[in-house]
Structure 1
Amino acid sequence: MKRQAKLVALSGVALALVASGCSSNTGNDSDGAKDHTESSTDIIGTAEDSKGPASAIDGAKEGGEITILGRDDLVHLDPARAYVSSYMMVGGGLLWRSLTGYREEMDGTVKLVGDLATDPGTDVNGDCTVWEYTLKDGLKYEDGSDITAEDVAYGVARSFYSKIGDGPQFLQDWLDPERKYEGPYDGGEKIPPGVAVDGKKITFTFSQARCETPFAVALGTTSPVPEAEDKGEKYDDRPFSSGPYKIADRTLGEKLTLERNEHWDAKTDPLRNAYPDTYSFEWGFDTKDIANRIEANQSGDENVMTLGSIHPEVLPNILADKKSYGDRLITAPQKYNAYMAIHTEHITDVDQRRALNHAFPRDRYMQMTGGTDANSPSTTLMAPTVPGWKEYDAYPYDVEKAKELLGGESLKIRYAYPETPLEGKIADMLVEEYGKAGIEVEAVPIPTADYYGQIAVRSNDFDLYWASWGQDWPSGSTVIAPVWGEDGLADEGGSNYSFFTAPEIEKRIDEIEAMPVSEGLPLWAELDETIMKDYAPSIPISYSIGNWITGSDIGGLYISQDISTIDVRKLFLKS
């Protein structure tokens, strides 16, 4: 998901980068997503669907504290910057709201509805160029003040500012294609180009049809920020709550405590249940130790959980005895597609990039990251959860073919990886396996908290590095354009980690984006295949399958299809 949808999937320890998607809570059938044909427009709800409160969950009760453990702090809670699954789930699920959002029911039904807005949006002219939203009555911040349309517009405005533009950039690119607007700071206008406010109404006007706007405004980009509370880059530390919880205490890198926002009105909110009184987050734990601790479920840990999937070295033992864990264990396909980004401005020879693809030991990599219980092999840029997805394999494993493409010459590359024990083992494996094809690998560890920060810098001196992406909403437009197109290119902070672009690909992206959504869905898959066969800018690795476990006192366990992690909006304590 950075666009992200920029998530980095936690395959044990790696990150999980993306934003919305179409996973499902349907047991262990990892192939089910491949049959997904639902289009974006099929899940848009109505004004009636947009009314609160959220559907009650059987057996749920209010009260108590849930403790969430993690290795690293939530780097971004600013809605303009949150673009990793855990940041988006905690931020968008507990702290802040957007114009629209995904109403997810426990039976797997998903509808895109109005969150702050009364409905998913009005296509004013019937041609998708002008979209209007009206705010609901009774919307309040944590101090009891009113949430206004001006605050929503200001939230969008600040997301243009380069120093906090880490989050989704769809709406910004559509409103100001030349990106001349630089945000509301240093004398800039408080309302961005293409945006108008009239009372409780906010209108977005685009230079061309943008029929996926209801989905774009579901992202943190449209979360309201009162100008008086804006602290620029420091807003990350304590965003001002428009959701059901507010920050009570925070020590960066160590802990975060959320308590109820007494001014949040459930009657206005169709998405969030907010059963616990408190959420307590604690950081600094090894992910393997977290999995072992939650699995043990010792006295005092019954209310403990983590947002990440079960560590791959712990997973086999747990899955071997599934029944003993009951409803505190859940498995679901995720929308994330893990891949190795090849820095195409360093490795400019497409045959060398093809060689890297042919020589990549996908099966061995998957085995080290949880096997088929946590992955299914990927050979495409988009995941099977994207409507219109098409299966193909342009580069089957073939060391001899890789040698042939290299013309008998050796290739030296620098491989960057998150500095964890598991990723270190993977790096050693790649050194060994690539060596068989005459590819010499220098493995370079990067501190996990700064991993994406370093690989997203265009001038980085790495040639190959892991990344992961999931669609922001059910369309290939949220995968191809931001990750393998100019939309994701930036000197730093972009989502095109391969730094790849080609005129003919950009032309086709523009053509498909101008088409009706349903017509364009299969064409994204065709473009996916063209990019890989003609340019080979990345190495697809695996589609993610998530496995989660919680303490025995936690109820309401459900995997969000939008974020592909535990949906904190539904959780409650059983006792």
Structure 2
Amino acid sequence: MLSTGPYKVESFRPSDELVLVKNDQWDADTDPARHQYADKWVFKFNADPDQTDQIMLSDNAQSQTSLSTDLVASNYTEAQDKLGDRLVQQSQQCTSFLYPDYSKTDMAFRKALAYAYPYEDAWTAGGSLPGVTRTHATTIMPPGMAGKPDYYVDGEEISFDLDKAKEYLAESETDPTVTMIYYESDPLAVAAQDVITKGFEDAGFTVNAIGVTESPYATWLSPDDPTNKKLNVRGVAWCSDWPSALTFIPPLFRGDAAYDTGYFSEDDINSRIDEIPTLPQEEQADAWGSLDEQIMTDYFPAIPLANYNTLFTFGSKIGNPSGDEASGAPNYKNLYVMQ
């Protein structure tokens, strides 16, 4: 039987607030996976992050029945001390990539970039916490995804290593010039780019970093954009709609996919992407995992940079403070207010 859900919209102001109240047409007997514990949910959008953190850390009347889905990294230590198990580190079904242009670069160039990328320093400069909100990605598929394989392209985790970067760059027949863009309207993005540029230059690359005032995706996703045509290194960050590689690998690695920002296309990979969804369902997860390894081992078209974690904070009267790994969100359906 179709469920319309335990809550319905009472009011909605785009970019400001959504209010949900109990749905009197919902039948709990037909929808045992969800609950109607809270009388009302009020979602606030575009709230000031630091102000929100201070409210959550204060344990005042407002914070006690509230939760926040994005703790500012600089407040992490204080939140650990004050909130204890009401601070939840939740993994997300997300991976970010550096995506060199496949037709303009060879594998040695791409591996040189991978070892020249200053992962933890770039995350820190960009406002993330290494090991907490950002962790090293070693595969296409993120942690928690069905069929995620365990392998290392070079036999060990790729990390910042200038000696290896220089070795691969010496093997490469690609011009050692990196042309990329960064979001110059965001001071954190500027700081991160400065760190990335230094890492690449220390490895022997020449870096042409171009500042843009719109989201980089506005350039990356426009093949005819004059700036985009100059680039040989782009990027992409992707989160799954549900924890299956069907929503992850095809959008990024099938030829002509919108978010294939490196323009990677190989016939054997395209054919396998089309074939896997036709396999018996119980075989598909492992098949996607094998394809993940094949793409990265045979072609190394993109450099997995990071898997994402989010920091949730819960008020002292919120019961069962927890997250949902499949959605990368608070476990809304099982939260309740303690009297």
- TM-score by length of structure 2 reads 0.81
Contact 2:106 2:172 survives alignment (8 Å): no
Q: 1:515 aligns with which of 279, 287, 300?
A: 279
Q: 1:329 aligns with which of 80, 84, 87?
A: 87
Contact 1:254 1:284 survives alignment (8 Å): yes
Cα deviations across residues 182-220 of structure 1 (Å, max 9, x unaligned)?
xxxxxxxxxxxxxxxxxxxxxxxxxxxxxxxxxxxxxxx
Which residue matches 2:13? 251
User: Cα distance, 1:380 vs. partner?
Assistant: 1.5
Distance change in 2, residues 1:513/1:254 (3 Å): closer
Q: Return the alpha-carbon distance in structure 2 between the equivalents of residues 469 and 283 of structure 1.
A: 20
Distance change in 2, residues 1:283/1:545 (3 Å): closer
Q: Return the alpha-carbon distance in structure 1 between the equivalents of residues 59 and 299 of structure 2.
A: 49
Which residue matches 2:152? 392
User: Cα distance, 1:411 vs. partner?
Assistant: 0.8
Distance change in 2, residues 1:290/1:423 (3 Å): farther
Amino acid at match of 1:524: W
Say if 2:57 is the partner of 1:295: yes
User: Cα distance, 1:244 vs. partner?
Assistant: 2.6
User: Cα distance, 1:329 vs. partner?
Assistant: 1.8
After superposition, residues 8-23 of structure 1 pair within 5 angstroms as: none
Q: 1:374 aligns with which of 133, 152, 155?
A: 133
Distance change in 2, residues 1:292/1:406 (3 Å): farther
After superposition, residues 77-92 of structure 1 pair within 5 angstroms as: none
Q: Return the alpha-carbon distance in structure 2 between the equivalents of residues 561 and 274 of structure 1.
A: 21
After superposition, residues 178-257 of structure 1 pair within 5 angstroms as: 242-257=4-19
User: Cα distance, 1:548 vs. partner?
Assistant: 1.5
Q: Return the alpha-carbon distance in structure 2 between the equivalents of residues 427 and 303 of structure 1.
A: 39
User: Cα distance, 1:464 vs. partner?
Assistant: 1.6
Q: Return the alpha-carbon distance in structure 2 between the equivalents of residues 356 and 295 of structure 1.
A: 41
Say if 2:198 is the partner of 1:428: no
Amino acid at match of 1:535: Y
Q: Return the alpha-carbon distance in structure 1 between the equivalents of residues 200 and 325 of structure 2.
A: 36
Which residue matches 1:479? 248
User: Cα distance, 1:362 vs. partner?
Assistant: 2.0
How many pairs align?
A: 324
Amino acid at match of 1:468: W
User: Cα distance, 1:419 vs. partner?
Assistant: 4.9
Q: Return the alpha-carbon distance in structure 2 between the equivalents of residues 567 and 546 of structure 1.
A: 13
Distance change in 2, residues 1:348/1:567 (3 Å): same
Structure having the larger proportion of residues in helix: 2
Q: Give secondary structure in 2 for the equivalent of 1:373.
A: coil
Q: Return the alpha-carbon distance in structure 2 between the equivalents of residues 431 and 280 of structure 1.
A: 43
Q: 2:312 aligns with which of 548, 570, 573?
A: 548
Say if 2:263 is the partner of 1:499: yes
Which residue matches 1:313? 74
Which residue matches 1:569? 333
Q: Return the alpha-carbon distance in structure 2 between the equivalents of residues 283 and 495 of structure 1.
A: 27
User: Cα distance, 1:370 vs. partner?
Assistant: 0.6
Which residue matches 2:324? 560
Q: Return the alpha-carbon distance in structure 1 between the equivalents of residues 330 and 140 of structure 2.
A: 25
Amino acid at match of 1:426: A
Q: Return the alpha-carbon distance in structure 2 between the equivalents of residues 334 and 370 of structure 1.
A: 15
Amino acid at match of 1:355: A
Q: Return the alpha-carbon distance in structure 2 between the equivalents of residues 376 and 247 of structure 1.
A: 37
Distance change in 2, residues 1:291/1:433 (3 Å): farther
Q: Give secondary structure in 2 for the equivalent of 1:401.
A: helix
Q: Return the alpha-carbon distance in structure 2 between the equivalents of residues 286 and 446 of structure 1.
A: 22
Q: Return the alpha-carbon distance in structure 2 between the equivalents of residues 261 and 384 of structure 1.
A: 35
User: Cα distance, 1:408 vs. partner?
Assistant: 8.7
User: Cα distance, 1:524 vs. partner?
Assistant: 2.9
Distance change in 2, residues 1:408/1:271 (3 Å): closer
Distance change in 2, residues 1:408/1:335 (3 Å): closer
Cα deviations across residues 34-83 of structure 1 (Å, max 9, x unaligned)?
xxxxxxxxxxxxxxxxxxxxxxxxxxxxxxxxxxxxxxxxxxxxxxxxxx
Q: Give secondary structure in 2 for the equivalent of 1:426.
A: helix
Distance change in 2, residues 1:249/1:512 (3 Å): closer
Contact 1:435 1:441 survives alignment (8 Å): no
Distance change in 2, residues 1:403/1:351 (3 Å): closer
After superposition, residues 48-197 of structure 1 pair within 5 angstroms as: 135-136=1-2
Moved more, 453-462 or 464-473: 453-462
Q: 2:207 aligns with which of 423, 440, 455?
A: 440
Distance change in 2, residues 1:254/1:297 (3 Å): same
Q: Return the alpha-carbon distance in structure 1 between the equivalents of residues 187 and 68 of structure 2.
A: 19
Contact 2:153 2:296 survives alignment (8 Å): no
In structure 2, the gaps of 5 or more residues are: none
Say if 2:22 is the partner of 1:260: yes
Cα deviations across residues 2-51 of structure 1 (Å, max 9, x unaligned)?
xxxxxxxxxxxxxxxxxxxxxxxxxxxxxxxxxxxxxxxxxxxxxxxxxx
Q: Give secondary structure in 2 for the equivalent of 1:275.
A: coil
User: Cα distance, 1:258 vs. partner?
Assistant: 2.4
Q: Return the alpha-carbon distance in structure 1 between the equivalents of residues 141 and 14 of structure 2.
A: 35
User: Cα distance, 1:392 vs. partner?
Assistant: 0.8
Pairwise CA RMSD:
3.1
Q: Give secondary structure in 2 for the equivalent of 1:376.
A: strand
Q: Return the alpha-carbon distance in structure 1 between the equivalents of residues 30 and 197 of structure 2.
A: 55
Which residue matches 2:238? 468
Distance change in 2, residues 1:458/1:535 (3 Å): farther
Which residue matches 2:40? 278
In structure 1, the gaps of 5 or more residues are: 1-134, 140-241
Amino acid at match of 2:73: P
After superposition, residues 28-39 of structure 1 pair within 5 angstroms as: none
Contact 1:416 1:465 survives alignment (8 Å): no
User: Cα distance, 1:503 vs. partner?
Assistant: 0.5
Distance change in 2, residues 1:458/1:291 (3 Å): farther
- TM-score by length of structure 1 reads 0.50
Q: Return the alpha-carbon distance in structure 2 between the equivalents of residues 571 and 318 of structure 1.
A: 20
Contact 1:418 1:451 survives alignment (8 Å): no
Identity of aligned residues (%): 22
Distance change in 2, residues 1:292/1:440 (3 Å): farther
Distance change in 2, residues 1:557/1:499 (3 Å): farther
Q: Return the alpha-carbon distance in structure 2 between the equivalents of residues 481 and 536 of structure 1.
A: 16
Distance change in 2, residues 1:314/1:454 (3 Å): farther
Say if 2:110 is the partner of 1:340: no
